[in-house]
Structure 1
Amino acid sequence: MTAPRPASPGDTLDRVETPALVVDLDALEANIAAMASRAKAGGMALRPHAKTHKSAEIAKLQLAAGAIGICAQKVSEAEALLGSGVKDVLISNHILGEAKLDRLCGIAKHVRVTTLTSDAAHVAMLSQAAARNGAEIEILIEIDAGDARMGLQNLNQVGPLAQAIDKAPGLRFRGLQAYTGPFQHIRDPEERADAALASAEIALEARDAILALGLSCETITGGGTGSFDYDLSEQAFTEIQPGSYVFMDMDYGRNEDGPSEVFRQSLFVLASVIRVPEKRVVYVDAGVKSLNLDSGMPGVHERTDLAFTKASDEQGRVEIATKGQAPKLGERLLLVPSHCDPTVNQFDWMVAVRNGRVEHVWPVDARGCVI
């Protein structure tokens, strides 16, 4: 069941039903423009990761600003975002299972689709699915660029795997995926820069192994919101795939000299004060089911005198500093998520606001698309 719309265009914030996912349109649009400008100036294509916002409307804004396509993380997520009009989708994951592969091929019949692999057995599965469906799938080899996740760690295997993809019916070898998620959150800027450089060197080593076999490597994609400046300067990638820059969150705000210096906080959870039991504590109607807490507690926007300290399923505890001003019963607070991506996935609707008034109420199109 989809939840009722929490607001209507023209409403002021005090009329929005809470808890609600709220986006500041001025900040969102500024963030989209800033990243598009940085990528263009750096001579690099921009492929934003849509797993952050899960919204066809936001994908439209990114494409209109110059993005060459989008990333999605799941087949169902890609399907849900086709309404954006996107023509080039990278499903930056390893897709297995006959049903999923058939649906992947279904998308590939309408738009350009690329996905990832790291071993020959998976290449055979992808090729069989493409042949079965009369489709062509473009393939990137995912390499481990330093974060010890899904990528191929032995670079001696990159060349033979690229050859296997190149020979496989229904597949087209496109290049490399070299994303390093944990590196996006390295706090110290020098350490973050060093990590980006090391990742770039690994990607270039893998590229050279492919070129030595006479194959082309047209795409090296990766990078992210935390490392985008370094990724642009290293010039190893042909495209970057940041996601969180559209919204930002508390965790990215902890990076020293990080993306919060460039991008504005645009995503909030609007909550109402529902109990004022004592002078130094209030409770709000947003808890674990509204706020993903894997990266800590949320902040309270523009209220340094308030600290969100504890959450139950449906409520949150907010403590007030000694000289702080206690919120009143029914007062609205804008909470800054600690981790934007999974927070978005908690909501069916996104309330887009400009100057304190609702301009749009957008569906979170790919909410719950985990298949």
Structure 2
Amino acid sequence: MKAQPEPLPDHLRALVGQSVDDVDTPALVVDLDAVNRNMQRMVEFAAKHRLRLRPHGKAHKSALFGRLQLQAGAVGLCAQTVAEAEALGAGGINDVLISNEVLSVPKLRRVAALAHQLYTRGGRLSLAVDSGEGIERLAQAMVLTRAVIDVYIEIDIGQGRCGVAPDERAVTLARQLAGRSSLRFAGLQAYHGGAQHLRTVAERHAAIVEAAEKVNAVRRLLEAAGLPADVVTGAGTGTFAHEAASGAWTEIQPGSFMFMDVDYLRNERDPAQPQFEPALFIKSQVISLADDHAVCDAGHKSHAIDSGLPEVQALPGQAPLRFANGGDEHGVLHPEHTADEDGPLSHLPALGEAVWLIPGHCDPTVNLHSHYVVVRGGLAAGRVEAIAPVEARGVW
């Protein structure tokens, strides 16, 4: 099982109740008020469309935020790795779907152990498969426990990543699951990750219309075989309104909506979806100042760059700034206006001034940090509500 996080140092515990100004930099900061607003909007959407909401825990990797999601109305959580599922389970989350294939025998033993742990608490563990070999290996691992694990057959609906072809091969896998005492065919895993960041609403809509045709075709085949897929789970922050409108999905798995990031904010706004606001930030501060730029202490060690660089969140009264690559420990800040002819640029932040960054991609940014600083009352005048460990960080 994944090792428990180390106790928080005294200087972090002492932050609770203090002003956000006292948070040292660079730090991973969550605006709890914004998180709650984002969560409420998603819960209301799911209820309106009669969809089960299973947020993806790979976005926050935190039992605290997982529990918040369950309290708001989620039916359970997703995880993408065994380690994430273990951390969520250890944090009190009793319904976890590993929405990914697991073939490693050592990891499958851990899957069986976690399935047993959740089963004894009245919970359940689920797993995605896309091969007969995956089913056989899972069945062998599950002989170690009396628990039953729910198994979703993953179908490839357009991303070209994991998933069996959406044809009779999915039925073959469902038949292979039938009669297994420890494995229960639960439905289909149908996620189109490639559609999430198609920039226009029309592009995302077209991708999910095509995906829904594949889902419905497999559902008809399974129904004809006497193996109905009662649950179809999938969807993400960029497309969940289209999955909802299709009628093909019964459960949605958005994750990034709770924090948002620059890459999702670049998508064309979809009026069918609630509007979500940034809630995850890197607090940085200016450590060097020149005539035409400032330098902050948040480089690539504090934020992921796979989806591009962060953007600067200007607080009331602050001038807009552009973040440029400064390396591992530095970010270079440029004003978003031109210099006056008679002097240096104005409106650069002062030495020591706080600068708030919206990460380009929230999931891997969270993975770089050991804890969150959770703030209530906003970034400008809020106070630290809690220090929350990122229990599920890592890749195992």
Q: Map 1:101-112; keep pairs closer than 5 Å.
A: 101-109=108-116, 110=118, 111-112=123-124
Task: Give the equivalent residue in structure 1 for 2:222.
Answer: 210
Q: Is the 8 A contact 1:56 1:84 kept in 2?
A: yes
Task: Give the equivalent residue in structure 2 for 1:262.
Answer: 275
Q: Map 1:117-156; keep pairs closer than 5 Å.
A: 117-156=129-168
Residues 154-177 of structure 1: per-residue CA shift (max 9 Å, x gap) = 512111111001133421111100
- Counterpart among 323, 348, 353 of residue 331 in structure 1: 353
- What residue identity is the alignment partner of 1:46? L
Task: Give the equivalent residue in structure 1 for 2:209.
Answer: 197
Distance 1:72 1:130, change over 3 A: same
Q: Please, what TM-score do these two structures have when normalized by structure 2?
A: 0.90
- Counterpart among 253, 267, 275 of residue 288 in structure 2: 275
Q: Is the 8 A contact 2:97 2:127 kept in 1?
A: yes
Unmatched segments (≥5 aa) in structure 2: 340-345
Q: Is the 8 A contact 1:73 1:93 kept in 2?
A: yes
Post-superposition shift, 1:133? 3.1
Task: Give the equivalent residue in structure 2 for 1:316.
Answer: 331
Post-superposition shift, 1:261? 6.1
- Counterpart among 94, 100, 107 of residue 107 in structure 2: 100
Post-superposition shift, 1:258? 4.1
Find the aligned partners of 2:274 and 2:41 in 1 and give their Cα distance: 12
Q: Is the 8 A contact 1:124 1:168 kept in 2?
A: no
Post-superposition shift, 1:84? 4.0
Q: Is the 8 A contact 2:312 2:356 kept in 1?
A: yes
Find the aligned partners of 1:166 and 1:279 in 2 and give their Cα distance: 70
- What residue identity is the alignment partner of 1:314? E
- Counterpart among 47, 56, 76 of residue 54 in structure 2: 47
- What residue identity is the alignment partner of 2:255? G
Distance 1:261 1:70, change over 3 A: closer
The answer as to 2:365 corresponding to 1:343 is: yes
Post-superposition shift, 1:37? 0.6
The answer as to 2:389 corresponding to 1:363 is: yes
Q: 2:226 is paired with a residue of what secondary structure?
A: coil
Q: Is the 8 A contact 2:46 2:53 kept in 1?
A: yes
- Counterpart among 64, 83, 93 of residue 86 in structure 1: 93
Residues 4-27 of structure 1: per-residue CA shift (max 9 Å, x gap) = 465611221221011000111110
Q: Is the 8 A contact 2:237 2:257 kept in 1?
A: yes
- What residue identity is the alignment partner of 1:12? S
Unmatched segments (≥5 aa) in structure 1: none
Aligned length: 369
- What residue identity is the alignment partner of 1:116? A
Find the aligned partners of 2:70 and 2:170 in 1 and give their Cα distance: 32
Q: 2:37 is paired with a residue of what secondary structure?
A: helix
The answer as to 2:83 corresponding to 1:76 is: yes
- What residue identity is the alignment partner of 2:51? M
Find the aligned partners of 2:267 and 2:72 in 1 and give their Cα distance: 26
RMSD of equivalent CA atoms: 1.7
Q: Is the 8 A contact 2:166 2:214 kept in 1?
A: no
Q: 2:142 is paired with a residue of what secondary structure?
A: helix
Q: 2:178 is paired with a residue of what secondary structure?
A: helix
Residues 61-104 of structure 1: per-residue CA shift (max 9 Å, x gap) = 10011100000111111111124432211001111222211111
Q: Is the 8 A contact 2:166 2:217 kept in 1?
A: no
Task: Give the equivalent residue in structure 2 for 1:9.
Answer: 16
Task: Give the equivalent residue in structure 2 for 1:352.
Answer: 374
Find the aligned partners of 2:268 and 2:319 in 1 and give their Cα distance: 19
Q: 2:163 is paired with a residue of what secondary structure?
A: coil
Q: 1:11 is paired with a residue of what secondary structure?
A: coil
- What residue identity is the alignment partner of 1:319? H
- What residue identity is the alignment partner of 1:100? K
Q: Is the 8 A contact 1:105 1:136 kept in 2?
A: no
- Counterpart among 231, 240, 244 of residue 228 in structure 1: 240
- What residue identity is the alignment partner of 1:251? D
